[in-house]
């Protein structure tokens, strides 16, 4: 089972490396550790929540392509986020985030128009507006005192 896991992950890394530059590959994909493979689901361990979010925002298409090429169209990817590396006495702590299969041709519904923020500078009669300057009236040049440092 471990040999299949290593083979699948090595194939994924090869596909990913062909898609992105070396620096990005070293930064974002070399630290990933494959954990298990079961039922066409590959579980990988990432070092942090930020790491997971960055992969999902920037490399989801590349990951999808690699998973499809190695596990087929039914392949899934699951993340295990390392929360605490642990020590000799305590085992590492992590939690899993299942990844739903992304569809290739999804269309999102347009968001309903929200209330538009009205800028105070858009008023027609700007001179008649009473705007507070939030300046302290006690501080003026008439009572400014210069001193030695």
Domains of the chain: 2-98 (3.30.300.180)
Residue 25 or residue 139, greater confidence: 25
135 pLDDT tier (thresholds 50, 70, 90): confident
Q: With beta carbons less than 8 A apart as the criterion, state whether 44 and 79 touch.
A: yes
Q: Is 94 exposed, middle or buried (0-12, 13-18, 19+ CB in 10 A)?
A: middle
Q: pTM of whole model > 0.75?
A: no
12 pLDDT tier (thresholds 50, 70, 90): very high
Average pLDDT, the chain: 77
Buried b (16+ CB within 10 A) or exposed e, 18-39: eeeeeeebeebbeebebbebee
pLDDT at position 80: 87
Q: Using the structure block, give the residue that is written with the tokens 């009205």.
A: 118
Residue 24 or residue 128, greater confidence: 24
Q: Average pLDDT for residues 116-128, to the nearest whole number? A: 55
pLDDT at position 97: 60
pLDDT at position 149: 67
Q: Average pLDDT for residues 101-123, to the nearest whole number? A: 45
- What's the token pair of residue 22? 């070396």
Q: With beta carbons less than 8 A apart as the criterion, state whether 30 and 20 touch.
A: no
Question: Does 10 have pLDDT greater than 70?
Answer: yes
Cross-strand partners of 95: 81
């Amino acid at each position: 089972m471990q040999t299949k896991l290593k083979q699948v992950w090595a194939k994924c890394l090869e596909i990913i490396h062909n898609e992105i530059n070396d620096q990005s590959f070293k930064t974002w994909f070399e630290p990933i550790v494959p954990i298990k493979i079961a039922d066409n689901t590959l579980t990988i361990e990432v070092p942090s929540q930020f790491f997971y979010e960055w992969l999902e925002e920037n490399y989801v298409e590349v990951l999808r392509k690699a998973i499809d090429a190695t596990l087929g169209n039914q392949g899934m990817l699951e993340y295990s986020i390392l929360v605490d590396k642990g020590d000799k006495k305590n085992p590492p702590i992590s939690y899993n985030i299942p990844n739903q299969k992304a569809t290739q041709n999804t269309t999102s519904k347009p968001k309903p128009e929200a209330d538009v923020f009205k800028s105070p500078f858009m008023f027609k009669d700007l001179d008649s507006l009473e705007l507070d300057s939030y300046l302290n009236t006690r501080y003026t040049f008439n009572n400014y005192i210069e001193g030695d440092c």
